[in-house]
Structure 1
Amino acid sequence: MTKPTREHCSLALLALLVAPFVVLGEDMPREPDYMKREHSLVRPFQGVGVILPHWDFLGNTMVTSNYIRLTPDLQSKSGALWNYSPVMTRNWEVHVGFKVHGKGTELFGDGFAIWYTKERMQTGPVFGSKDHFSGLAIILDTYSNHNGPHNHQHPYLSAMVNNGSWSYDHDRDGTHTQLAGCEVRFRNVEYETLVSIRYENDILSVSTDLENRNEWKNCFVVANVELPTGYHFGMSATTGDLSDNHDIHSFKFYDLDLNVNHDEIIRRSNIIPNAKTFEPPREHKEDPKPGMSNAKIFFILLFVVVVAAAVAIFAISYFKDRNARKRFY
């Protein structure tokens, strides 16, 4: 029997050390390479005082170690979270882990948006952020009291590319300016839900993992979408008469550029956000005028009865007085 050499022992020891990691790697879900910390948020969130590394927040945003709450489940709240650094990458992918939940069972809202825009840290009417923005918005609309006639249910996920000249039509859920969209059932589930936004070679694709299966389900793919470099990522949410907790659990940014061409990165910083195709515009119908409430009808009827009674009493008194005068003479 051949006596093992020192080289054999070293190889055997190396195999024993590497084997556990190989097995572990096969079981773990694979993600894109090159996650950039300066554009990412991972738990536990460790803010120092009111400072969150690489990110700013405003409004009613609350930072905890396990989640960042953009709005609480209260009326008329708004919050936002914005990355410091401009994105100098042409091709990228982001995974956003979130949870939207609240006490409402039939009425709830309004939703939140994921932004890649020129402007940052500006409040406004579009899910807590600026209207007439320049860039990309991924909107997750939960408003359960439908704004106008639609052919989809809520919650609803849609994308909008804007060069700063268009207004988001909140009263029609943005259906006249959206690139594409799909129904997404993520509200009030017990587990974390995820959305993937991939932008590569001017193709925008959005997928979701809403069933806790560790599988991406395609929402839509749109080609010929031009987005510049140098914009900022952000997230914002708002509540109105209806409300929800809008919690962010993670934001992971992945650089998909294998060969970085700095001249190309600089050149793309000058392009204007643009999309060659949109969904066919839907017929713009006016919302039906609201009918009178039961309370309003009651007070109108009460007023009519009171007026009629007053007229009757006046008429009776008038005729009694007139008859009495006739008998006196």
Structure 2
Amino acid sequence: MSSAMFSFCTLVLLLVSLGVNGQAPKRRFEYKMSFKGPHLVQRDNSVPFWEYFGDALAGDEGIRITPSLRSKKGSVWSKNKLDSTGWEVEAGLRITGRGRVGADGMAIWFTEGRGSMGDDPNNLVVFGAADRWNGLGIFLDSFDNDGQHNNPYMMAVTNDGSRSFDHQR
């Protein structure tokens, strides 16, 4: 990206963040919407304010969504709803593996309901959430389903719960 384009994008983001009244929004850390080590996992293997499913592994420093093995699925979902009208998210991800292209990808979800691991073959799943979700999904797609050689790909997809996601394209 050229420096002029970067400057323009930065300016647009700055103006959007200032809002209508010209003041920067007040920031408040929501500890119930966060998890961070050390000592993340409690004695009963729970993570405060969060639930993890499938092959996800919780450890003292963080949660591993899946191990580096074939056909594994995992997810982590907040137990709390976010009632704020304006919010921002800061996420740190570390993606590691055995050096091969693997997995379909992952998503960060902002939805009305919690996702599903998709054990029912009639219940389609999109990166750990229901096929017809209500909200926003940020997809980090690493598998070239359509053969167009356009992966890895990152996209933001909204849905009102009425549309089915096109899994092949």
Task: Report TM bin, short chain.
Answer: 0.7 to 0.9
Match of 2:36 in 1: 42
- Return the index of the structure with the highest Cα Rg: 1
State the alpha-carbon separation in 2 of the partners of residues 67 and 170 from structure 1: 30
Match of 1:163 in 2: 160
Higher helix share: 1
- One-letter amino acid of the counterpart of residue 162, structure 1: N
Match of 1:130 in 2: 130
8 A contact 2:35–2:62 mirrored in 1? no
Note if 1:70 corresponds to 2:68: no
- One-letter amino acid of the counterpart of residue 46, structure 2: I
Match of 2:23 in 1: none
8 A contact 1:45–1:63 mirrored in 2? no
Structure 1: gaps spanning 5 or more residues: 1-31, 173-329
8 A contact 2:36–2:62 mirrored in 1? no
Note if 1:148 corresponds to 2:146: yes
State the alpha-carbon separation in 2 of the partners of residues 167 and 40 from structure 1: 30
Match of 2:93 in 1: 98
Note if 1:110 corresponds to 2:104: yes
Match of 2:83 in 1: 88
Q: How far does residue 101 in structure 1 lie from its aligned partner after superposition? A: 1.5
Higher-RCO chain (CA-CA 8 Å, sequence separation at least 6)? 1
Are the structure 2 counterparts of residues 162 and 104 from structure 1 closer, same or farther at C-alpha, using a change threshold of 3 Å? Answer: same
Q: How far does residue 149 in structure 1 lie from its aligned partner after superposition? A: 4.7
1:223-238 mapped onto 2 (5 Å cutoff): none
Q: How far does residue 67 in structure 1 lie from its aligned partner after superposition? A: 2.4
Q: Deviations over 1:46-92 (max 9, x none)?
A: 22222110101111110111221111111111111111111110000
Note if 1:54 corresponds to 2:49: yes
8 A contact 1:133–1:162 mirrored in 2? yes
State the alpha-carbon separation in 1 of the partners of residues 81 and 128 from structure 2: 21
Are the structure 2 counterparts of residues 132 and 45 from structure 1 closer, same or farther at C-alpha, using a change threshold of 3 Å? Answer: farther
Output the TM-score relative to the length of structure 2: 0.74
Higher strand share: 1
SS of equivalent residue, structure 1 residue 96: coil
Q: How far does residue 151 in structure 1 lie from its aligned partner after superposition? A: 6.9
Identity of matched residues, %: 35
- One-letter amino acid of the counterpart of residue 139, structure 2: I
C-alpha root-mean-square deviation of aligned residues, in Å? Answer: 1.7
Match of 1:23 in 2: none
State the alpha-carbon separation in 2 of the partners of residues 98 and 169 from structure 1: 26
Q: How far does residue 165 in structure 1 lie from its aligned partner after superposition? A: 1.2
- One-letter amino acid of the counterpart of residue 64, structure 2: R
Match of 2:12 in 1: none
Match of 2:18 in 1: none
State the alpha-carbon separation in 1 of the partners of residues 59 and 41 from structure 2: 8
State the alpha-carbon separation in 2 of the partners of residues 112 and 151 from structure 1: 18
Are the structure 2 counterparts of residues 45 and 168 from structure 1 closer, same or farther at C-alpha, using a change threshold of 3 Å? Answer: farther
Q: How far does residue 148 in structure 1 lie from its aligned partner after superposition? A: 1.8
State the alpha-carbon separation in 2 of the partners of residues 74 and 158 from structure 1: 25
Could you tell me which of 47, 71, 74 is aligned with 1:79? Answer: 74
Output the TM-score relative to the length of structure 1: 0.40
- One-letter amino acid of the counterpart of residue 108, structure 2: I
Q: How far does residue 104 in structure 1 lie from its aligned partner after superposition? A: 3.6
SS of equivalent residue, structure 1 residue 116: strand
State the alpha-carbon separation in 1 of the partners of residues 161 and 39 from structure 2: 33
